[in-house]
Structure 1
Amino acid sequence: MLKVSRPTPSHFGIYVTDLDRMVAFYTEVFDLTITDTGVGKTFKNKLVFTSASPDQHHQLVIASGRPADVKFSTVMQLSFAVPGIQSMRDIWAKAEARGATDIRGLNHGNALSVYMLDPEGNMVEIYVDTPFYVEQPHGDPLDLSKSDEEILRETEAICRRDPTFKTLADWQADFLSRAPAPGA
């Protein structure tokens, strides 16, 4: 059971046109496990529940019902944390092979990210956090052909030159000083 002390974002759902194609994309590219499928009794769309964690029944719900003539997705982005920089390289290759487009890397200072459009045009981000903080939005090019060590050295140098630089620990302490007390 997920433990939270205040409302916490935990899962999201998207409407799709081609359910089978999109389920294959998300399960194969992001290694998500299908936890349940079915048609809702009150919500008459077909739903596929997926998760990467045994602690959460679903983290992404893929639902039928997106009209085929809809060209613009209102999803700003779906973000996936990944274990490391090599995972970003591996997922980039799998996503491209499964129909993702407009794939590009960005270094946000506090995170290294790869953005792409899934086969139906939803923006997807894969990212790895760094131990640094700079004010957002921040985006420098990210070249994943460099070694992990080189990328992290460059990221630290970029961040330390920014006047808003903090360590992650300092940023977290600032966050906790501004956050409401549990149960407040």
Structure 2
Amino acid sequence: MADSPAVLIVEDEPDLANLYAAWLRDACSVKTAYNGSQALEAMDESRDIVLLDRRMPGLSGDQVLSTIRERELDTRVAMVTAVEPDFDIIQMGFDDYLVKPVSKADLLSTIDQLLLRSTYDEQIQQFFALASKKALLDSQKTEAELRASEKYARLEDRLNVMRAQIDETITELSNHDAYRRVCQDLSRTD
């Protein structure tokens, strides 16, 4: 299970939290928190994804989300809640929002989508870091120096491989309904 995503389920209804955990156990490494305080105690860099209820007694899901973002943890957060979205969501730092009731397929699809977006983010960061190095060398070295360098040739090869990987990831993302909906929504706002 080393390659399976680490998911934290934060849900104040134990039966529902345990159901989600049972649904995900075969595909993920699952931990459950039954309130906001437990969620924050369980939160660390090892959590890939948090499935977070918004309305909980004590520390609300909104407060847990704010704390996760303040800690700058590299985790994706999907709100899984009975709270219908309103304009307040604009300022919230979640990555996806599901309105209950949700199915096993909904949860698994959301996890897959969030993991794919994480992969894309990492690929883009690496690509731009390498592209920046190439641009710097292009501006500082002569064409002859660039052609003569094995390291520069390997850099160009790596950039080409990364460009192909990014294109492949974009194709995968575009095959997901959620990504298509986002693109359609973005094109309507232009």
TM-score > 0.5, shorter chain as reference: no
Kindly indicate which of the two structures has a greater share of residues assigned to helix.
Answer: 2
Kindly indicate which of the two structures has a greater share of residues assigned to strand.
Answer: 1
Q: State the TM-score bracket (shorter-chain normalisation).
A: under 0.3
Q: Could you state the TM-score of these two structures normalised by the residue count of structure 1? A: 0.25
Q: Flag the structure with more relative contact order, 1 or 2, with Cα contacts below 8 A and sequence separation at least 6.
A: 1
Q: Could you state the TM-score of these two structures normalised by the residue count of structure 2? A: 0.25
